[in-house]
Structures are given as structure tokens and as C-alpha cells.
Amino acid sequence: VEFLYCDLASMKSIRQFVRQFKAKNCPLHVLVNNAGVMLVPERKTEDGFEEHFGLNYLGHFLLTNLLLDTLKQSGTHSHNARIITVSSATHYVGKLHLNDLQSRCSYSPHGAYAQSKLALVLFTYRLQHLLTANGSHVTANVVDPGVVNTELYKHVFWVVKVVKWMTAWLFFKTPEEGASTTIYAAVSPEVEGAGGCYLYNEERTKSADLAYDEELQRRLWTESCKMVGISDEASRLP
């Protein structure tokens, strides 16, 4: 195990991390996008992005795109490289405000968090479409870990914290249980070659209807490229 520092809330840190990783000339068989914040008060990343959208979504969008060439080189016909992105059931109630992705008009911690998780599902489906169109030996899937007992809930109301403390043993998954579907997506032979799936409890399930909107996927991808400063090569593909 080797540790490389990467702050997903910083575009500069992400680019520096990718340079350090590529300098090692290592293959990349599995990328798990799992960083996140939840229900934080309104604040911005160092790049000026609303924190939920900037860290939960844009950080992973940039990281994945910068590592795509290495992933493509690492995958083979019999063993695809795998991209696993961790979303949340919250995406089912999320709305994507393409004209206000930074939630500047009216900020809601719940709305901003749900939007970032919906964006991750849209991104995964669009990414898989592009990988398939290019004939790449890389798959992209999205995971719903369920309700997991972690520090992610530190910004909820104190009443919710008390209820969580009292009921976590009954209703919440342990971190190990919460990681099981991500591990399944990363290593299970059952999903070899399968991409564009929404996985929950180690099974393929249906995501929000809105997430299957291909025009919305395309528009979000194009806008995301502009925001993180990378070329939208996908614009030349259907």
C-alpha cells in the first residue's frame, strides 16, 4: 500500500496527484471515486465552486478524465479496467440546475448534496457511453452504499445526531458493510465487462429516471469540461 496525497476540493492538487501517479508508470486497473461532504453550510472550494458540487462531483470528474488514458492502457479484452463512483439514494430526489450548478440563487444544503449525487450518476452513464463508443476496455459503474454509520453526518441537525446515535446499530450499515458493493463492483467477475450500471446491495438496480436523460448527460459533461478546464473531446461523438 502506498499513499499519495490528493485533495479532491482542489483542481491544483488533483493535477499534481495525477502527475505524481503517472511518473511511477504503474498500470491502473481500478479507480474508486469515494470522496465527499454532506449538508455542509454554504461555502466554496479554493477554485470558487460550491463545495458539494466542487468536491463530490467536479473533483471526481477531473480526476477520472486525467486518468482515463492510463485506465485505457491498463484494461484488456478479458480484464477491463474499472471505474467505480459512489453516489447515494439521495440522487433520486436531486435536481440538476444547469443554469445554477453552484446553487448561487438559493442555497439548500440538502438540494446541493442531492444535485452533486445526481451529477455523479449522469456522469457515469455518459462516461460509459463514451468508453463504449471508443472501444475502450474500461467500464464505469455507480454504487449506492446505503446508509452507513460514518462521520459524513456531522453537519446534520443535533436532533438527527441523537436519533442516529440511538438507532445506528439497528438501521445503519457499518463502514465495512457500506463498502461491500464498492468492492463487489471493483473485483467481482460477475460484473466483468458490464458498465453503465447502478449497483445497490451488490445487485444492479434502476436509478432515477432523470439520470437516463442522454441530452442532460451530454450537457452536464460539456459544462463540466468548461468548469475544470479540459477539452471536450466527447463533443465529437454522438
Q: Is 198 a catalytic residue?
A: no
Q: Please give the C-alpha separations between residue 114 and each of 44, 80, 107, 153, 238, in angstroms, as whole numbers.
A: 17, 30, 12, 14, 28
Q: Please give the C-alpha separations between residue 110 and each of 35, 155, 193, in angstroms, as whole numbers.
A: 17, 11, 35
* Cell numbers describing residue 123: 456522469
Which amino acid, residue 122? L
Start-to-end Cα distance in the chain = 40
| Catalytically annotated residue among 57, 113, 125, 198 | 113
d(CA 30, CA 27): 9
Which amino acid, residue 69? D
The CB density around residue 46, as the number of other CB atoms within 10 Å, is 12
Q: Can you tell me whether residue 79 is helix, strand or coil?
A: coil
Contact indicator for 15, 24 with CB cutoff of 8 Å: no
Q: Round the CA-based radius of gyration of the chain to a whole number and report it.
A: 17
Catalytic residues: 113
